[in-house]
Amino acid sequence: MKQIVLFRHGKVDIENNKKISAFEFKDWIKEYNNCDIVFDKTALKDKEIVDNADIIICSNLKRSI
């Protein structure tokens, strides 16, 4: 049976608890978009689903790819 699976990116490897100004927020977003994903048990399960997919569509953000 064919199925459609929607993923949200996993946990991003970035420090989220530091205070930043509104001026710094733009740079933080750029850093966030270029971070790696924390590779855990959930990521392993997701990778198995992706490895067996016929078609994959994703954004071009590093955390998505």
| pLDDT at 22 (0 to 100) | 95
Nearest to 42, CA basis, from 65, 15, 9: 9
Q: Which structure tokens are listed for 26? A: 């733009």
For residue range 16-65, what is the model confidence (pLDDT) as tens digits? 788 999 999 999 999 888 888 887 777 778 888 889 898 888 888 877 77
Spatial contact of 33 and 61, defined as CB atoms under 8 Å apart? yes
Domain ranges of the chain: 20-65
Rounded distance between C-alpha atoms, residue 7 and residue 17, angstroms: 25
Spatial contact of 43 and 37, defined as CB atoms under 8 Å apart? yes
